Amino acid sequence: MRAYSWDKDLQGLEAPDIVAFRSWLLKNYSRDQAKKVLSSFHSALLEMVTQGVLANDPAGKISIQQSRYKEPVQIPSVKEAQAMLRAADNLANHRNQSIAKHWQRYRPMVYLAADSGMRPQEYLAIPTGDVLEKRVRVSQALDRSNRIGPTKTSAGRRYIPVGSDTLEMVSHYVRMSGRSDADDFVFPGSHGGHQTYNNFLRRGWHTLMEKAGLMEQQEDNEDASPIYAPYCLRHFYASMLIAQNKDLKTIQERMGHADAAMTLNVYGHLIRIQQAEKIDEPHGVVSRVLGTPCGEFVAQGL
């Protein structure tokens, strides 16, 4: 709450100001974290109303819904994904050795995210023993409190085929880091434990978006924010599966969804577009039944 640039005193806050704060939270933090912060803020305002400090609670009817997929997800284009990967390459080879050192870790993370569709909470917690010869295994993830635990659902425990170049990049980083224990984290933090989502967001992701030229200016604010959140690479991966005409069951399993309904809820619009583009009926259904273009049939009857 302190990090946000409030342009009004507490007593002057209105519902639109809280909506703007909510948008900022969702853009800069995970949905769960944003929901907790907004809830805490609402509780604090209610207490101030009780004590007579405020006349009303401007956050009373403003909340963050549980489902993040009420609207179509934001998916980077192929060019934007290429820009992200090139930016990761450039940062890992930066002339500043401190920057290059950090991105020798972040670069394989970004490539793995794009090539596997793993959730950030999954690749931040992946142990070296889950990097296999031709795929990765997802066996654990960070929970809402940034603690290691089981995957989001039992369907989250899965094997995902990954490109050989990406796997070699990840394996090379592990070898160069000298971690041989199967329980060691592939991408540990400086303290040796796992990284937190918010730490990666601030120190890695924002830098990547800036380098890739994927920032946007915020209204009434001089600061620019990333156009996409880390989850965008998961959605990009799913869009590539759909473009490759993978069947629904395969997409569901790769994404770790508990059922096909979840997959359709998130990516159904892409699947419908892909299916529509595959339809090859230049003369429509009637001409197919009649075995002749509809125009010819009509002309013959005149």
- Predicted confidence band of residue 178 (pLDDT cuts 50, 70, 90): confident
DSSP 162-229: --HHHHHHHHHHHHHHT---TTSBSSB-TTSSBPPHHHHIIIIIHHHHHHTT-EEEPTT-S-EEESS-
| Residue where a domain terminates, one of 206, 224, 242 | 224
Gap between the Cα atoms of 124 and 196, Å rounded: 7
Characterize the bridge pairing of strands 224-226 and 141-142.
unpaired
Of the residues 66, 101, 121, the one at which a domain ends: 66
212 contact partners, CB below 8 Å, separation of at least 6 = 80, 83, 84, 86, 87
**Comparison of pLDDT for 299 and 244, the residue scoring more:** 244
Instruction: Indicate the number of domains in the chain.
Output: 3
- CB-based contact 128:122 (threshold 8 Å): no
Highest mean predicted confidence (pLDDT) among 15-29, 180-194, 280-294: 180-194
**Domain assignment present for 73:** no
Could you tell me if residue 293 is inside a domain?
A: no
pLDDT in tens, 116-126: 999 999 999 99
Residues 172 and 274 in one domain: no
- pLDDT bin (cut points 50, 70, 90) of residue 170 is very high
CB atoms within 10 A of CB 46: 15
CA distance 157 to 54: 48
Q: Is 283 a domain residue? A: no
Q: Same domain, yes or no, for 133 and 248?
A: no
166-194 mean pLDDT: 89
* Judgement on whether residues 166 and 95 belong to the same structural domain of the protein: yes
CA neighbours within 13 Å on the CB side: how many for 242?
24
pLDDT > 80? residue 219: no
Residues 53 and 116 grouped into a single domain: no
Tell me which of 14-18, 119-123, 228-232 is least confident: 14-18
Residues 156 and 100 in one domain: yes
Domain span including residue 244: 233-278
Phi, psi of 142 (to 5 degrees): -80, 140
Same domain, 174 and 102: yes
Q: b/e per residue, 171-193, with b = 16+ CB within 10 A?
A: bebbeebebeeeeebbbbeeeee
Residue 301: predicted pLDDT:
45
Q: How confident is the model at residue 113 (pLDDT cuts 50, 70, 90)?
A: very high
pLDDT in tens, 190-216: 787 899 999 999 999 999 999 999 998
Tokens 């994904």 belong to residue: 81
**105 and 217 fall within a common domain:** yes
pLDDT band at 293 (very low <50, low <70, confident <90, very high): low
211-231 exposure pattern, b = at least 16 Cβ within 10 A, e = fewer: bbebbeeeeeeeeeebbbbbb
Residue with tokens 């004590």: 51
For residue 162, give the CATH number of its domain.
1.10.443.10
183 has a pLDDT exceeding 60: yes
Taking 50 as the threshold, does the pLDDT of residue 64 lie above it? Answer: yes
Query: What are the respective helix, strand and coil percentages of the chain, to the nearest 5?
Result: 55, 10, 40
Say if residue 47 is in the same domain as residue 83.
no
The tokens of 36 are what?
């907790």
pLDDT at 300 over 70: no
98 and 211 share a domain? Answer: yes
Helices (H) and strands (E) in the chain, counts: 13, 6
Residue 297, domain member (yes or no): no
Residue 299: the pLDDT is 46
188 and 254 within one domain: no
Could you tell me if 114 and 214 lie in one domain? yes
Q: How many beta carbons lie within 10 A of that of residue 16, not counting itself?
A: 10
Q: Determine what percent of the chain is predicted with pLDDT higher than 90.
A: 50
Q: Which of 35-39, 70-74, 263-267, 270-274 has the lowest mean pLDDT?
A: 70-74
Shared-domain flag, residues 82 and 204 = yes
